[in-house]
Homo-oligomer: A and B are copies of this chain.
Amino acid sequence: VADGATTVEVEAGVLRIGEVARSTGLTPRTLRYWEEIGLLRPTGYRKSGERLYAPSDLARVGRIRDLQELLGFSLTEVRAVLDTEDVDVLDRVRSELRDGDPSPRRRRELLEAGVTANDALLGRLDETLARIRAFRDERAASAARMRAALEEFRE
């Protein structure tokens, strides 16, 4: 052990709430609130009550923020959209297989619903992209007008 690392993590890659907060730019309060409403549950707890998060939770945090900030979804809407993610959908397909529902009909339904939801989301993202581009053009024109006014005063 050449470097100064002496603290040992109980489980590898497991993060405490403060570490998740720092690496995502959120506050611990936000993460606790998301848990309160069932949006993001930590993978485990210590006996003391301390929350423990896995790396996959970090990825989920990123997708929640995207839906919230980039598309303006409420947390209820965010949860609905996350239910259509491929990770979740494919997990559900596999767990239904384990639970003894081998009907290909049900599996196809889940996957097709996921694909449909994704297409709707892609549509909204493209709308938002178009709105931002239009707004950026307006602002570029505004800056140009002010620069022109500056030139005018200069003479």
Which residues of chain A have a CB within 8 Å of any CB of chain B?
A: 63, 66, 69-70, 72, 85-87, 89-90, 93, 104, 107-108, 111-112, 114-115, 118-119, 121-122, 125-126, 128-129, 131-133, 135-136, 138-140, 142-143, 145-147, 149-150, 153
Contact = CB atoms under 8 A, between A and B. Distances in A.
Nearest to A118: B143
15 contacts: A63-B138, A69-B72, A86-B145, A90-B145, A90-B146, A108-B153, A111-B149, A114-B146, A115-B150, A118-B143, A122-B139, A122-B143, A125-B135, A125-B136, A129-B129
Nearest to A128: B132
A131 B70 contact: yes
Contacts of A145: 86, 90
